[in-house]
Amino acid sequence: MKSFLGRVLSTIVGNIATISIFGILLFLLIIISSITAPTTSVKEGSVLELTLDEAILESDMDNEVSIFDLSTPSKFYLNNILKAIESAKTDDNIKGISLKIESFNGGLTQASDIRKALEDFKTSGKFVYAYANNSSQLSYYINSVADSVYQNPLGGTLLQGMSSEVMFYKNAGDKYGVDFQVIRYGEFKSAVEPFFRTDLSDENKIQLNSLLGDIWNNLSNDMAKSRKISPVNFQTITDSLYSYIPEVGLKHKIYDKIIHEAEYEDILFKKLNLTSKSGKTNNEILAKHTISIEKYFNTLTEDSNSDKIAILYASGEITEGDGFDGIQSKTYVKAIREIEKSKNIKALVLRVNSPGGSANASEEILFELRRLKKKMPIVVSFGDVAASGGYYIAQDSDKIFAQPNTITGSIGVFGMIPNAKELVNNIGITTDGVKTNANADQLKSVFNPLSTDAEKLMNKSVVLIYEKFVNHVARNRKMTFDQVNKIGGGRVWSGTSAKQIGLIDDFGGLNEAIKEAAKLSKIENYSTESFPKRKESIEELMEKIQGNNIDSKIREELGTDAAKIYSNLKKMNQQKGVQARLPFDIKIN
């Protein structure tokens, strides 16, 4: 009785504490949201400054809601950056752009989009200068578009080319007692290789070499062209790491001048034709004429046209469910139906940045998009990744845009049922049970090996879904089954190759896709509206707090290797059924 009363009292105290925390959080959120940002104006003779060291978000779906972070979610996205650069091109108050990009925190295609916007800005005749202390390779890719690149004497840039790394779990699975039972279709469908191999297959090496080769050629050729270096010499510079030491990089035309930041500011001061004032240093005057891209965007007037183009942001893994982590099918079905009901929305741009996931969830989303297409044009814009399920959901569209560096395709499927019986036995857990039929314990427990019947069923399911995938692509891309099958089999392609083999229509970013959607819907004046619509932060926060996170405890009990296996088992359990997913978790360095 005493123990029971103690538990009751503990529960009451816990509930009171939880309610108190919610109350405090709600109060703080109200206070934060009520703070109005000061109005910013653009002075005559100003320079627009880009640092881009924060994560480059594409929509509010990318914002994480956390009890440990009460800051206002970011509302500054990739499209805002592009719009700001475009507006600055014709703004008489903006005389040029200063790039101070050292740790670009975005993806390859985002870097390409921003670089293209800067190239377009330069056609106005205004200057673009860049200054860096220590610059990452992708940061230099953007900086290299500048008229002049200035480098700190004790910094450097590590231009070194690209590499890819894949982690394999087979040995750890053998060590801890996890048997990964795999059914796949397609010789290039290597998403499951890390679970039954210890190294890359020849097929995987072929596609990785081709993918990285295409991407690096695109990046290096852009940089070489901007810096007026021959492609051959640029590869020599990269192989020899000449850019790492400023004086050597200067000699090989990676930099235009090696100076301190204060000297760079003096150059900007003169370029803006600013004049010294009594009691003010040149640095203080320059600061008044320097505006960050975030603040500059806030000075722009939003469009308020009644005609709208919806942008459906599909970012992350595709799963079944109703939530905001990744692409959860029920959430996206609701969003598509909301778009369909709107009288003002005239077209849809589907922005995809996904390695894929659940085949069933992908089919649900595609079905809804097919119905929507009967009412309005659908244009697709691929970000860094549009593979497997990410490519699947694009198959009822009028036009597909991608960047040359977009990881595209991976037309293939697989199924994997892990058998973790030995793992749980090793930590003292055993299982036993009874069943009414021969396969009553199959395909729903990670503690049983696949029976012969279950394995045949999974094989049949994988083949049927693959054929359906190929048929979707063949219909939308106006190809035959055999033509799609030849470039399918789970193989991934760069955007460059994808255009050559007909998997995409044209190169372009989100802006190009929006303009095409406007053209197809025959509207000239329009504004954009983002989907899905997220819940209020406090509502999402309450849902998260109510969940129980046992990952840290598992890591403590099992150790790092076994915890990694547990994490993958958990992901497999969440992604039930056959998967249309990127062939492998690509880490490009």
Cβ(574)–Cβ(326) below 8 Å: no
Beta strands in 293-336 (DSSP E): 308-319, 327-328
> Which amino acid is located at 455 in the chain?
E
DSSP symbol at 155: E
Cβ(110)–Cβ(382) below 8 Å: no
Could you identify the residue written with the tokens 């982690």? 167
Distance CA 517, CA 525 (A): 12
Number of other residues whose CB lies within 10 A of the CB of residue 41: 9
Residue 320 tokens, joined: 């079944």
Known catalytic membership, residue 444: no
Options 116, 189, 308, 499, the catalytic residue: 189
Rounded to an integer, what is the distance from CA 294 to the centroid of its chain? 21
Q: Are strands 127-135 and 148-157 parallel, antiparallel or unpaired?
A: parallel
Options 135, 144, 354, 388, the catalytic residue: 388
Distance CA 42, CA 88 (A): 11
Known catalytic membership, residue 515: no
Cβ(199)–Cβ(168) below 8 Å: yes
Q: Are strands 345-358 and 378-387 parallel, antiparallel or unpaired?
A: parallel
Number of other residues whose CB lies within 10 A of the CB of residue 520: 16
Collect all residues with Cβ–Cβ distance below 8 Å to 376 and sequence separation of at least 6: 345, 346, 347, 348, 521
Cβ(463)–Cβ(477) below 8 Å: no
Beta bridge partners of 149: 130
Distance CA 117, CA 460 (A): 48
Dihedral of alpha carbons 504, 509, 514, 518, sign? negative
Number of other residues whose CB lies within 10 A of the CB of residue 573: 11
Distance CA 196, CA 161 (A): 30
Catalytic residue IDs: 189, 388
